[in-house]
Structure 1
């Protein structure tokens, strides 16, 4: 599964899938199925435009499947019917850690922000590539439905649209490495904006008046990740994100505390199982 944008969980979870999934030119066939343990942790904002960061982390199992038609790896869950050198259609995922309102000054006394998950299609258009380096420039257009859960129930929270210009460079600093830089705006529907920025009347205070959030522009983010294989089965990834919320639709909310957020994270992946069945390497080093 591809686990990317959205604060917190996306940064850490992407790292867990980052290691074994890269196919290089002229390498032996790869296992059809791989399984392992991944995880990560970081210093992450409580929500977009929050005034506080907190340490967060997770460890979880992962699965990589390289089928003839369907594939699941660090690039996403995707059908090869919709993939070429210039265009691809993936099923992409993202997420965010929960946040305890008692630990956040702006939200004190309000309901906690639960675990969040996002799922939806993502169209990839390759604008430029250099296979000698190798590197490429993509325009990625994900549209995702957002859900939250306290592990006892699930709630629909709206839609995000986050077009991103992404540059990828392989083998920079060593064989099997991958550097990725992405830049783009984020837009969200009213329901998700309410989840972050609404203050219902029963939670209003003299310095936190009631507020009804509106859908629209959420902010712009610059994010990076760098994957470094340490052994055949173990890889490390460093990542980060710089977000700017100047001109955001809800910058007048009392929960909107600052125009800049910074996230930093470090992750790992450890492959524990590889199937005996293999598939041939692909022609493209990015697949």
Structure 2
């Protein structure tokens, strides 16, 4: 999929406590505003990029099960040093077909959101750095919406090898680099690559997409807390679509896509009630 809004707006979550000590405490409830944007491809293997952006309020609740941090909104069903199971979310910006040469005259691509379980296996960690290497296995159901109706678009599976390191550049900063393939069901592939007979044009023949391999992505994010209330985030993604299942679609225009993004968060309210931070620097 296109660059996830969760990756772009990781700054929506306030920075973790700069002192990662067992006795450190964080507000149980926070509220503020966050935003971000970037130069993003219109869809996977699109031939054009456009500038997209968003600013939204956020509400953070640090509970035992539901919480939001610099890794995004998540529900922690199980969280251990070597194994974690979360409910993960993702999203993507809409795209106007009239602004894309390949899709002109076709329906727009709407806002997209995904939700599903994500299994995390920690293959290696060093708490002195601190850093860790994870194998993350998210499976998500994907939906689209024009803000008047919602449509189910299929499923994605995106196993990823991810390296996380804290304190890069300054205390409290987080660097994450991930690499992995993306697979999607036929229904989602149709959303991106199908050309129905009524949309056939010279140079755009009819095409029926199939489920399978979508592409491989290398992505990074760097989160920099400026104060206890303000943080910045930078992110980027390089995607390869060589050998993709639907590379013969007339809507498939490039074997490479590049994305860059910037974001911020500003915590306007922090509750007096606090919760204890754990001894793990990654929590």
- 1:30-41 mapped onto 2 (5 Å cutoff): 30-41=26-37
Who is 1:150 aligned against? 146
Look up the match of 2:229.
Answer: 233
Scaled by the length of structure 2, the TM-score of the pair is 0.96
Change (3 A) 1:45 1:182: same
Task: Confirm or deny: 8 A CA contact 1:21 1:64 kept in the other structure.
Answer: no
TM-score (normalizing by structure 1): 0.94
Mapped pair 1:78 → 2:55:
no
Give the match for residue 42 of structure 1: 38
1:280 Cα deviation (Å)? 1.2
Q: Which residue of 2 aligns with 1:12?
A: 8
Q: Give the total of aligned pairs.
A: 281
CA deviations 1:201-253 (Å, max 9, x no partner) are 00001200000000000000000000111112101011000000000000000
2:58 corresponds to 1:25: no
**8 Å Cα contact 2:18/2:171 also seen in 1:** no
Which aligned runs of 4 or more in structure 1 are off by greater than 3 angstroms?
21-24
- Contact 1:225 1:238 survives alignment (8 Å): yes
CA contact (8 A) 1:87 1:126 kept: yes
RMSD (CA atoms)? 1.4
Q: 2:114 matched to 1:118?
A: yes
Tell me how far apart the structure 2 counterparts of residues 214 and 123 of structure 1 sit (CA, whole Å).
26
Contact 2:2 2:41 in 1 (8 A): no
CA distance in structure 1 between the partners assigned to 2:205 and 2:97 by the alignment? 17
Secondary structure in 1 aligned to 2:175?
Answer: strand
Query: Structure 2 matches for 1:116-265, cutoff 5 A?
Result: 116-265=112-261
CA contact (8 A) 1:144 1:160 kept: yes
Residues 8 and 44, structure 1, Cα contact 8 Å, conserved in 2: no
Q: CA separation in 2, counterparts of 1:105 and 1:8?
A: 23
In the alignment, the residues of structure 2 paired with residue 274 and residue 71 of structure 1 have an alpha-carbon distance, to the nearest angstrom, of: 15
Task: Give the CA deviation at 1:96.
Answer: 0.6
